[in-house]
Structures are given as structure tokens and as C-alpha cells.
Amino acid sequence: MPEEVLPYHKEEKRLAASEYEKYDPIRERFSYVIALQVFLLYIIYIYYDHINEYHPLLAGALLGAQTSCLAQSLNQFYQRTISLSKHIKFYVYGIFNGAATTLWIRLLVSKVDTKLMRFVYDQTFGGLMFQFLFILYNCIWERQDLYTHLRTTYIQSLKYYYMMWPFVSYLCFFHMREDLIFPLNCLSSLIFTLLLTLIT
């Protein structure tokens, strides 16, 4: 009788060992970090109007930074890589991008009369400018050659940009209140980053 039971216990131990090999304690701790970032993003969304009344650029910088950092965390979790330097890089970028996007939206709303022209400016000059600024920032941070990235990465990034952002821009300028344009922009940026992760 013990001879029949022994193989079963060996098989059970082998399965338990294989499941233990799949267990990744670093990814588990990383999932807690992502949960914390989602909570912080939720808090910023709740108090966004109050922060915006205090200073619009601060609201834009906080929301942009937290969204950018969360997108990077989800990207790294999916890719099974962890890089603190990339988190810092995208958090800093989110601050500048959030403030710049806030100023850009305010400029379009205050200086351009028609919704159609706001959309046109956003998808021509705005799209080209913000994609260029991201590549410039990335090259400065990584100490890489700007000219090389403009010839390769810039065109590729614009191709992905125009797959989604015209729809977001149309929704923002034709159907959203002015105070909701930037939060929707940040949410769309998070979704866009995740889609790029899946596509590439």
C-alpha cells in the first residue's frame, strides 16, 4: 500500500515546486506599488477641482506626473522588468508635460474662437510639438543623439499618435467642458501608453 501512495506524494511535491518557481515576490510587491499609485491617482482626481482653483499648473503637473508614472508601472509589470530610473524619468516628464498641456489647452480655449480650429491646431501643431518635446526630453535624459531619433522614432511615434489622439481631441473640444479636457487627456494618455505596450 505505501508503494502506491508514494508516487502520488512525489507528484504533488513536484507540482508544488513548479508553482513556487512561478511565484515572483518582486512582482507581488510591485503590484502593491501599482495599487498605491492607483489610489493616489484617485485622490488627485477627487481633489482636482480644489487643486485647480489653487493653481491650474500645479493640478496639471500632479495629475500628469501620477498618470505618467502609473502608465510606466503598468508597462514594466507587463514586461516583467523593474526600473526605478524609468519611473523617475517618466514622473519628471509627467510634471513638465502636465504643465505644458494645461497651458496649451488654456491657450487654445482662450485664443481660438471655433471648436473646429481648436481641433485643427491641436492635431497639427500641438501633436507635432508634443511628440517632438517627448523625444527631445528622452534624448537629453538618456544622453542620446537627437538627430538619429528624429529620423527613426519621431515618424513612428506620429503614426501611433494619429491612430488614437484625433478621436480624443474631437471629444475634448466638441463635447467636453473646459475643466474636464485635461483630466480626459491624462486618462487617454494612460490608455494610449498601455495600448502601445500591447502593440509593440
**130-147 pLDDT tens trace:** 989 988 998 898 888 888
Do 136 and 77 form a contact (C-beta atoms < 8 A)?
Answer: no
Q: Is the pLDDT of residue 199 over 70?
A: no
Query: Residue ranges of the domains in the chain?
Result: 2-199
Q: Is the pLDDT of residue 163 over 50?
A: yes
Q: What would the grid cell of residue 120 be?
A: 485643427
**61-106 pLDDT tens trace:** 999 999 999 988 888 888 778 888 888 998 999 999 999 999 999 9
Average pLDDT along the chain: 83
**5-46 pLDDT tens trace:** 445 445 555 544 455 456 667 777 778 888 999 999 999 989
- DSSP assignment string, 134-164: HHHHHHHHHT--HHHHIIIIIHHHHHHHHHH
